[in-house]
Amino acid sequence: MTSIDLLAIVAHPDDAEIGAGGTLLRHHQMGYTTGVVDLTKGELGTRGTAETRASEAALASTKLGLSARENLGLQDGFFVQDQESIRRIIEAIRRYRPRVVITNSISDRHPDHGRAAKLVRDACFYSGLSKIETGQEAWRPAAVYHMIQDFYLKPDFVVDVSEYWERKIEVLKCYASQFFNPKSEEPETPISGREFYGFLKSRAMDIGRPAGFLLAEGFITDRPPGISDLLVLK
């Protein structure tokens, strides 16, 4: 039976890499299994196509060291909180049995991010109900954490990604259709400019500084995380 320690379930290919790429790299390096489930193919994206995004995601997955990645094929921009969508996510959760799920920001510039955040959070709960039958054993992740994406939101905790930052940027460059490419003739977007990488690094420095980290990725949780050893906190 497949079991993934840390599973990102996100709206679009490249969401996990932007918001939690360093965290995924760090945990893979620590020996945990990691994976990504993309809800949509990102077919409404201004640049590139669903086909290019799929090949880019495959390359990024290799660089991240993912144990699994799949796309649920929900409709980009128009997926909704309905039974079909929730069931498809439940099936993925029960298939991978993650200990921890990372998902989109609870509120962000892109409307899909906030909607995905609620959809995934709800599916994680419903996945634990045995009376929802999918032909799989019920499974509920121990925790669901929300990334911080375009809008700044105060994190509840941060993950030190200082030593993984350059590798994260290399992963992002797998998405050649989406990020800075001086040879591209496609329209500019908020993430396609040269300055976007600088924005990400400045955000990571801002998030990491209070914890004493050079660069960090921040996360928000619906409930206070529990610990058994105060001395492990930074």
DSSP readout, 13-54? TTHHHHHHHHHHHHHHHTT--EEEEEEE--TT-SSS-HHHHH
pLDDT (mean) for 177-188: 89
Structural tokens at position 21: 């790429």
Q: How many angstroms separate the CA atoms of 6 and 204, rounded? A: 21
- Tally helices (H) and strands (E) across the chain: 6, 7
Structural tokens at position 201: 């690094």
What pLDDT score does 166 carry? 97
pLDDT (mean) for 142-148: 97
Q: How many angstroms separate the CA atoms of 229 and 211, rounded? A: 17
Percent of the chain predicted with pLDDT > 90: 91
The 3-state DSSP class for residue 208 equals: helix
Query: For 6-219, which CATH superfamily applies?
Result: LmbE-like (3.40.50.10320)
- At residue 4 the predicted structure's pLDDT band, cuts being 50, 70 and 90, is very high
| Count of residues in the chain | 234
Angle (CA) 105 110 111, round 5° = 85
Position 39 pLDDT exceeds 60: yes
What pLDDT score does 1 carry? 57
Position 36 pLDDT exceeds 60: yes
Give the start-to-end residue ranges of the domains of the chain: 6-219
Q: Are strands 100-103 and 143-147 parallel, antiparallel or unpaired?
A: parallel
Q: What's the pTM?
A: 0.95
CA 16 vs CA 182, 184, 209, 230: distances in Å? 24, 24, 22, 29
Structural tokens at position 190: 């908020």
What pLDDT score does 181 carry? 86
Closest by alpha carbon to 39, among 8, 19, 7, 9?
9
Burial class (CB in 10 A: 0-12, 13-18, 19+), 142: exposed
Q: How many angstroms separate the CA atoms of 63 and 31, rounded? A: 15
Query: Within 13 Å, how many C-alpha atoms sit on residue 184's CB side?
Result: 18
